[in-house]
A and B are shown apart, each in its own frame.
Chain A
Amino acid sequence: MKAAVLVFPGSNCDRDLAEGFRSIGAEVSMVWHKDTSLPEGVDIVGVPGGFSFGDYLRCGAIAAQSPITRALVAHAGRGGYVLGICNGFQVLTETGLLPGALMRNGALKFVCRTVGLRVETSESAFTETYGKGAQIRLPVAHHDGNYVADSEVLTRLNAEARVALRYTEQVNGSVEDIAGVLSGNRRVLGLMPHPERAIEAAQGNTDGAAMFASLTGALALV
């Protein structure tokens, strides 16, 4: 399995995400934002957390216009897998690969703690191993994770079971407690929590490991 992790100026979870992919035996390439193409044969692209371009203009807005992001959008258009975490989720909404937007947290505070989540669908390469309804805990660390979408988008997301994760506690004011959403073809996931920070016992929590384990099965079939 081949994975690529995009690196923007200000990305700071890129190496953690690479370790996540390596934990399931993937060969990982780090790809700089000025590159115009992804390595040949990449199965999944990770868009990491951090503060790309200093969050200037809007979180993820400048990264969404980077040369490598055009290659990312083309990869998703070909049915490729994409995992965007935290700032990566913001980048994916800014490109339009995922619907909605992420605004400043409702209470205006930067939230940095481990929160409760419920897995809302097992029908994705990212959540299969958890199973629907699984209660997990993952770290969050963000200032702009307040998911918003209009009622039409919410109706569609719910009808198509594309809300992958919901918070089980008040975290950032997200509409319907949405923490992560899937694309129409279910191969692009964006989420605010950090599964890559919870894959080894040394991190104090291994609830994120099942997300990477899920990918092993799905990507073995690619």
Chain B
Amino acid sequence: MHDDLLGPLPSRLDRRQFLTRAGWTGLGAGALVAGARRAHAQPRVAYPDWIAASSNPPKRGGVLTRASSWDPPVIDPRLTQSIGLHQFAVLVGNRLVRYAFADEASGPTDLTLKGDLAESWQPSPDHRVWTFKLRQGVKWQNVPPLNGREFVAADVKYCFEAYAKEGAQSFTFQEIEAIETPDKYTVRIHLKTPNVLFPQNVAEPITILFAREVLEQDGDLKKHLIGTGPYILKEHTRKVKVVLARNPDYFDKGRPYFDEYVILSTPDAATRMAAFRTGQSDIIWLASPSEVETVRKTNPNAVVQSYHNTLTPFGVALAQDKPPFNDVRVRRALSMAIDRQKQADTLFEGHGIIGWGVPYIYYQDKAPTLADLGPWWQYRPAEAKKLLAAAGHPNGFETTLFYYEYFPQMTSQVQLVQQDLKRNLNIDVKITKLDYTTYYGRYAESKWDGMSWGFQSGHAVGLDERTYQYMHSKSTKNFFRVNDPVIDQLTTKLRQTPDRADQRALTKKIVDREFDQVLRMWMPYDNGFLVFQPHLRNGAALALRRTDGYGASAIARVWADK
């Protein structure tokens, strides 16, 4: 009725006609898209794993911007090891010692220690006392209440004692028995037990030195973070951005090169990619080769570094203090029933590592192959079944596994393990996916049964952290519940072995023992790529320290060639 009255009749279209036309339109569009995709299909490019430092003289100025998925939970470095904070805290503060930056390193696996706030360091003959000689003339940033006063040995003592007293870094500093400051520029640290690796521990990015005045004034460091570093924290707006301004009084004259470093809180991966494509972000981390290819379609000049992990942070943790996982045969059977190569090929598009926990660079030159990991790490389902039967479980058993999805592929990875164990060993794994807080609380409490998708934290570079601290039965970081007297003995001995060659040999023994006993059942992990805008220089990531993460102190050496 209303049609007749509103004016000329529009042409009628019945449902069938409409659906037919819509269907043909859709088919046509689909064919066009498919054709376009085929036309653009290209073979994969191999990207370099190292980008050498530029030989051109660095240029000053400009703003470096990075869209980051991480937000700092708090800015008090005593309270968290979160990458959200340490992606920039290490630019505000300095450590006593640091690792080589990209423009100083011979390659990504160069782990040479360099002085940061310390110029030199010497151990006592028994390695229980370490003496650090501080750089002279270093000033705190020129902001109240520090106002550029000189950095002295008493600051180190105050800071280390505060770290040891409470908070997330206390483990590292609790091995300190006493600290002496014989003069303004000398710090003498007495350890409870000998540790040849102590300088590595104070080179970790989480050990930055903060200003005592702020802690005394505010009672915490949640509002102000002041250090001696290359950048001053100018602004921190939660869930928006962190703005760092160049510190004109930085002791390393001429550096940093950028006037500002802006970290934009960008939780969504697609948005981070869009930000890079449109030039709003200068650095991006991409997980897979296909993502790199996608970005290079719009940004063909982007510089890509193919990153190669030296360890995997994730693996299956077993309640190995209880049956059935206290039986090494069960652990070995489980390990042999899991097809790791399939995970690496399918989930990480072939750009992943098979999985091991101690960074290989501490015991050999090349990344281990699957064969190097030993017999229990090969995919041999028939042998696995026999071994499980010999351990008294011919018909399998039921168990549980809880996890938190750290990255999107993890759920598929957990399900692949579940399928492998069911198909090959008739083990029924009941999976529970948890949110982070629940997962972490349960995992760190170490009172769980069955299995968990375990982790080791991402910040640590040092060998001590990766061996003694994560594997010694008495360590509070022994999340995988390793309780092996041989490991205890070897990791303790490692702390007393100063010679680098001996350290390598000892580390290899620790790793071999771990593999043989399947103490931590490591799983494949992606390698990823660091992608830079073409004008960036000296930003290459190094082993265990990515420029966009815990290795952010290297940003002080990055500059723009434009």
A, B in one complex: no
